[in-house]
Structure 1
Amino acid sequence: MHQYYIIDTVKNRRDVLHITQEYLAELSGVSLRTIKQIESGKGNPTVETLSKLADVLGMELTLVIKQLNP
């Protein structure tokens, strides 16, 4: 999964819900600075941070195990 997919997903979902970055920070407990870094492509969020954002945005993080090519 590319970083840009995560960025676009967070931004788009926030827009659909009409949630500002500031309000997302307040609801999720993730700092505004971190959210701005994530959305600008400069951040490297932890799984915990992404999980907090996903929870507020009504989304769920999932990990998928890919098959390895022999």
Structure 2
Amino acid sequence: MNMKEIGKIIRERRKSLRVNQLELSELAGVGINTLVAIERGEGNPKLKTLLSILDTLGLQMTIELKS
């Protein structure tokens, strides 16, 4: 999975919850520009930032061994 795919999942979940980017950034405690970049699959966000956004959206990240 790459940042573009992660960004797409975040954007789709946010929209399904009918939350705008500003609301999500405030709820997750991250900057609006950071959130916009993540949703576009740009940049290299800190893990803490990504986990905060996922948690706010009711999502979690799972790490598995490659098959």
TM over 0.5: yes
For the residues of structure 2 that align with 1:4 and 1:34, how far apart are their CA atoms?
A: 14
Greater RCO, 1 or 2 (C-alpha within 8 Å, sep 6+): 2
Residue 59 of structure 1, CA deviation: 0.5
Instruction: Compute the RMSD of aligned alpha carbons.
Output: 1.2
Query: TM-score when scaled to structure 2?
Result: 0.89
Give CA-to-partner distance per residue, 1:28-70, whole Å, 9 cap, x none.
0011110011112222112211110011100011111224xxx
Query: TM-score when scaled to structure 1?
Result: 0.85
Task: Report how many residues are paired.
Answer: 67
Structure number with larger C-alpha Rg = 1
**What corresponds to 1:63 in structure 2?**
63
